[in-house]
Amino acid sequence: MNIILVLEQALNGLQLGVMLFLMAAGLTLVFGIMNLVNLAHGSLYMVGAYLATYFYQLTGSYLLGVLLGLAGTLVVGIAVELVALRTLYERGHLDQVLATFGLILFFNELMAIVWGRAAIYTTLPAYLSGHVEFFAGLRYPLYRLVIIAVGLAVAGLLWFVVTRTRLGMLIRAGASNRAMVAALGVNIRLLYTLVFGFGAALAGLAGLMSGPIHVVQPGMGELILIDVLVVIVIGGIGSIRGALAGALIVGMVDTLGRAFLKPMLATVVSPVAADTAGPALASMLIYLLMAAVLAVRPAGLFPARG
Amino acid sequence: MNRRTAILLAGFLLLAAVPSIAALLGQPFYVDLLRRVMIFAIAALSLNLILGYGGMVSFGHAAYLGVGAYAVGVLAHYGVHDGYLQWALAIAASALVALVIGAVSIRTSGIYFIMITLAFTQMLYYLGISIEEFGGDDGMRLEVKSQFPGLIDLDNGNAFYYLVLAILVLVALLGHRLVNSRFGMVIRAARSNEARTRAIGFSPYPYRLAAFVIAGAVCGLAGALLVNHTAYLTPEFMNWTRSGELMFMVILGGMATTAGPVLGALALLLVEDVLSGWTQHWQIILGPLLVLSVLFFRRGLAGLLFGKDE
């Protein structure tokens, strides 16, 4: 285990954390403001990945594919909000979980019908596929650095919008007392639709950026969704700050656990035992972390409001 | 005899007649299908105890299905085929897992509870995937079904069917007794008003935890039945979509009713069976159907069948 490997894995962890944050931010905003549990958030991630891949292959331009994919996810998100989710705001969490579970089945099958069940592999354009050499021995893929940069930029933008703009003020006001905001003459339904669409676009962004790293296939959204749920539970549901902290913690713990738990165990127990226990423990690590956090702080690290 | 008892009795007789009817029609497939329905009905009944009566929205009930199935599968893997031992381990192991998960989860409530139960089940799912000895991703075959020498032979489809039916009736009756006992009253009281429950001197936590463990143990038994039914075992038993399906069975049938989960399991699995015979893209129909049922079908099948009184 050398320092370069550790650095490389730390960057991988950061990249995963940023990706989780993009998903978690939308999910936690929607929960904090509309009090809606949206399991179909992972489906929007999948829709973003499919649309961007489709438009990239259609136009031949990666950038155009990304932009059209984002716009498409925004439209799909708003349509889902208008058709199905709007009626769920006043319902209990149980109904919301079940209805959005139904939406997941619908979207997975829709993608399978339109683009087939087989996994789609995408390639990167030449200007994104190189490596960056920090110093001798540490070469890191440029694309992953771009993801980290985009994610951190989005985090900054979110912070700016929520704390420094009129829209952000309305969002915060809507989160703490929606009846009052509506009474002051704000179109709260429009605000909800906007927030949902924005969250959908963020999920789409995460999905389309993950396309070239992982594969694009039906059901890809659920794999990350459950990790994202862990993130927002650790961070405190409804808190963007919590989502960022949770995402970075989970990203790091998961990546470093998968990389180093086995060799570390091998120094304590026999290599054979480490071979079996290492991967099993690594895949359970973030859930154990979540249980530990909740045992100490049942409302997460940064509870939204008391 | 009131209307409700009459319907329940008719339903029981109909289930009991399925093997004869299937033999008459020359369609043994129906015995298989209904046995599967009843196994899931047992699991849904156990979930109903905590979800319907206790108000604990567990999104991870498939975990116990998996633990029960693995208990049988693992013992069989090491050459232990004694059914009593296998099923006892299935019940004990899932009760133990439920105790651990419940002890942490019940401290929280609302949306946190939903997500924690989901996450714990996901953890067990990944554990199942990563243990190569028990087949990992692919799972393993159950070469020999649970052996109950002198009592019953599970390889006989009809005998197995009647055993499942007997267990289903037993679980339903015991569940009915349980929720109407003093214990059940406390569970239901804590669901409708926790503050008042505390005020009259009950701490909900131990009661909820006990209900959670009972539900887990019963679902573990359903898991032991399921692995004998499919003769195959994979981590997919614990997939989170399975937990979602179990919740749908309870909601579709009618929460906090005795017959509801059975009706829900019947309805969901039959609809799935019909749709999947129709088109391979059946989920695109099932998904919106489920959304609509949540939005507009609030009373559940039991409410439809029995009127308001239950």
Q: Which residues in chain A touch residue B243, judged by CB atoms under 8 angstroms apart?
A: none
Q: What is the mean pLDDT of chain A?
A: 88
Q: ∠A61-A65-A69 over CA atoms, to 5°?
A: 175
pLDDT confidence of B1, banded at 50, 70, 90? low
User: Hey, are the CB atoms on B119 and A226 less than 8 Å from each other?
Assistant: yes
Establish if A305 belongs to a structural domain: no
A83 touches chain B (CB under 8 A): no
Q: Which of A179-183, B230-234, B239-243, B296-300 has the lowest mean pLDDT?
A: B296-300
Closest-CA distance of chain B to residue A271, Å: 16
User: Hey, are the CB atoms on B284 and A105 less than 8 Å from each other?
Assistant: yes
Separation between Cα atoms, residue B103 and residue B265, nearest integer Å: 28
Chain B residues in contact with chain A using a Cβ-Cβ cutoff of 8 Å: 51, 57, 59, 104, 107-108, 110-112, 114-116, 118-120, 122-123, 126-127, 129-133, 240-241, 244, 247-248, 251, 281-284, 286-291, 294-295
Establish if A229 belongs to a structural domain: yes
Per-residue pLDDT of chain A (306 residues; tens, 9 = 90+): 578 888 889 999 999 999 999 999 989 888 888 888 899 999 999 999 999 999 999 998 899 999 999 999 999 999 999 988 888 888 888 889 999 999 999 999 999 999 988 888 888 888 888 888 877 777 888 899 999 999 999 999 998 988 899 988 888 888 788 888 889 888 888 888 998 999 999 999 999 999 888 888 888 888 888 899 899 989 988 888 899 999 999 999 999 988 888 888 878 777 777 777 777 788 888 988 988 888 788 788 888 653
Residues B61-117 have pLDDT tens digits of 999 999 999 999 999 999 888 889 999 999 999 999 999 999 988 988 888 888 889
Residues B23-68 have pLDDT tens digits of 888 888 889 999 999 999 999 999 999 999 999 999 999 999 999 9
pLDDT (0 to 100) of residue A113: 92
A228 touches chain B (CB under 8 A): no
Please tell me the total count of domains within chain A: 1
Substitution target in B59, B108, B115, B252 with the highest count of A β-carbons within 10 Å is B115
Q: Are B166 and B160 in contact (CB under 8 A)?
A: no
Whichever domain contains A196, its CATH number is: 1.10.3470
pLDDT (0 to 100) of residue A126: 82
User: Hey, are the CB atoms on B123 and A284 less than 8 Å from each other?
Assistant: yes
Domain residue ranges of chain B, discontinuous segments joined by +:
29-238
Q: Which residues contact B176 (CB under 8 A, 6 or more apart)?
A: B258
Q: Which of A299-303, B237-241, B259-263 has the lowest mean pLDDT?
A: A299-303
A283 touches chain B (CB under 8 A): yes
pLDDT (0 to 100) of residue A201: 94
For B51, which residue in chain A has the nearest alpha carbon?
A94
pLDDT (0 to 100) of residue B37: 95
Domain span at A44:
3-296
Q: Are A106 and B287 in contact (CB under 8 A)?
A: yes
pLDDT (0 to 100) of residue A306: 39
Top mean-pLDDT range of A81-90, B8-17, B218-227, B234-243:
B218-227
Establish if A303 belongs to a structural domain: no
Which of A97, A106, A108 has its CB closest to that of B114? Answer: A97
User: Hey, are the CB atoms on B294 and A233 less than 8 Å from each other?
Assistant: no
Residues A196-232 have pLDDT tens digits of 999 999 999 999 999 888 888 888 888 888 899 899 9
3-state secondary structure string, chain B? CCHHHHHHHHHHHHHHHHHHHHHHHCCCHHHHHHHHHHHHHHHHHHHHHHHHHCCCCCCCCHHHHHHHHHHHHHHHHCCCCEHHHHHHHHHHHHHHHHHHHHHHHCCCCHHHHHHHHHHHHHHHHHHHHHCHHHCHHHCEECCCCCEECCCECCCCHHHHHHHHHHHHHHHHHHHHHHHCCHHHHHHHHHHHCHHHHHHCCCCHHHHHHHHHHHHHHHHHHHHHHHHHHHCEECHHHHCHHHHHHHHHHHHHHCCCCCCHHHHHHHHHHHHHHHHHHHCCCCHHHHHHHHHHHHHHCCCHHHHHHHCCCC
Q: Which residues in chain A touch residue B129, judged by CB atoms under 8 angstroms apart?
A: 283
pLDDT (0 to 100) of residue A79: 94
Establish if A28 belongs to a structural domain: yes
For B58, which residue in chain A has the nearest alpha carbon?
A94
Higher pLDDT, residue B16 or B211: B211
In the predicted model, what is the mean pLDDT of residues B120-140?
A: 86
0.90 surpassed by complex ipTM: no
Which of B107, B127, B287 has its CB closest to that of A105? Answer: B287
A99 touches chain B (CB under 8 A): yes
Establish if A273 belongs to a structural domain: yes
Alpha-helical runs (H) found in chain A: 3-34, 41-59, 62-80, 93-115, 142-164, 166-176, 178-183, 188-210, 220-235, 240-268, 271-296
